[in-house]
Amino acid sequence: MRYFVIAVFIAIVVSLFSALFFVYHDRSGSTRALKALALRVGLSVGLFGFLMLGYYFGWFGDRL
């Protein structure tokens, strides 16, 4: 589980920086930045939902 969460978090950060890159380099009115930001929001909401479900169903063990 830990590696899945880390991988999704890295994908969120990569999507954020790709959107930043597209904002600065696409001057033709391209929608690539919008799509990258929408992907980031989708991944963030999905990760949040996964973590809430995991906590609710007890998929994650206690760490003290």
Residue by residue, DSSP assigns the chain as: -HHHHHHHHHHHHHHHHHHHHHHHH--S--SHHHHHHHHHHHHHHHHHHHHHHHHHHT-SPP--
**pLDDT confidence of residue 35:** 93
Would you say residue 47 has pLDDT above 60? yes
Q: Supply 58's token pair.
A: 């007890």
Rounded to an integer, the average pLDDT of 39-63 is 91
Prediction pTM value: 0.83
pLDDT (tens digit per residue) in 6-27 = 999 999 999 999 999 998 888 7
